[in-house]
């Protein structure tokens, strides 16, 4: 408990560093292939939760998350636009040939909307912008979908964490009530079973 309080105190005393981390995690979660290893959604939820407790400013945290996500998408797009052929031959990229092929199929099926949809589908999130660039998607259309999805992603994931934090006491009380009901139901079921068996 003391360690948790120490961590919260450190976060509150160094908010600029934490906002930079939020930006960085959001960026790398959406960056080409690297995003597959970054738990950005969970981190965004945690940031929203901390904001609900007054440790962070929710508006600044959301803006940092949005900016990181959008910037990664734009960079991924330009990497695909200019270096796709060279990069896919690299050893690191060749390991994910199957994922890249699925990303291409996904893009061909949904077109520009895949940039928006892919934002909310884990494996495709860091791949679709790269594919969009390689497929020569119009820049203005790409930026439109990237910005729209980035804003919605940042608001929704941090917002969920924020709402959860604001209502955690109510949620816990409801869970206790549910556990009590389930416990009573289980007890009655066991007693009924024993009564039927041994009467």
How much is the pLDDT for 191? 56
Side-chain half-sphere exposure of 108, counting CA atoms within 13 A: 6
How much is the pLDDT for 84? 73
Q: Which two tokens stand for residue 39?
A: 């738990």
- Summarize the chain as % helix, strand, coil (round to 5): 85, 0, 15
Q: Are residues 156 and 178 in the same domain?
A: no
Q: Are residues 141 and 174 in the same domain?
A: no
Q: Are residues 187 and 129 in the same domain?
A: no
Provide the domain count of the chain: 2
Full-prediction pTM beyond 0.85?
no
Q: Are residues 11 and 64 in the same domain?
A: yes
Which portions of the chain are predicted below pLDDT 50? Answer: 1-2, 4-5, 192, 195, 199
Q: How far apart are CA 159 and CA 164, in angstroms?
A: 8
Q: How many other C-beta atoms can be found within 10 angstroms of the C-beta atom of residue 131?
A: 27
Show the domain range for 144.
2-166
Q: Are residues 8 and 20 in the same domain?
A: yes
Q: Are residues 30 and 110 in the same domain?
A: yes
How much is the pLDDT for 181? 58
**Is residue 44 a contact partner of residue 30, using CB atoms and an 8 Å limit?**
no
Q: Are residues 156 and 128 in the same domain?
A: yes
Q: Are residues 173 and 154 in the same domain?
A: no
Q: Are residues 177 and 137 in the same domain?
A: no
Q: Are residues 135 and 77 in the same domain?
A: yes
């Amino acid at each position: 408990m003391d360690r948790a309080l120490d961590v919260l105190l450190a976060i509150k005393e160094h908010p600029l560093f934490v906002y930079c981390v939020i930006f960085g995690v959001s960026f790398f979660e959406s960056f080409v292939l690297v995003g597959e290893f970054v738990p950005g959604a969970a981190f965004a939820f945690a940031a929203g939760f901390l904001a609900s407790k007054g440790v962070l400013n929710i508006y600044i945290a959301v803006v940092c998350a949005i900016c990181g996500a959008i910037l990664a998408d734009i960079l991924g797009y330009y990497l695909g636009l200019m270096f796709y052929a060279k990069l896919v031959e690299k050893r690191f990229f060749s390991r994910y040939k199957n994922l890249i092929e699925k990303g291409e199929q996904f893009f061909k099926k949904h077109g520009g909307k895949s940039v928006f949809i892919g934002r909310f589908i884990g494996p495709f999130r860091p791949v679709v912008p790269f594919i969009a660039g390689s497929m020569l998607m119009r820049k203005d259309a790409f930026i439109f979908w990237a910005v729209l999805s980035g804003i919605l992603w940042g608001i929704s994931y941090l917002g969920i964490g924020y709402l959860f934090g604001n209502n955690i006491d109510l949620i816990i009380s409801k869970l206790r009530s549910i556990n009590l009901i389930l416990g009573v139901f289980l007890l009655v079921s066991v007693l009924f079973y024993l009564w039927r068996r041994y009467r």
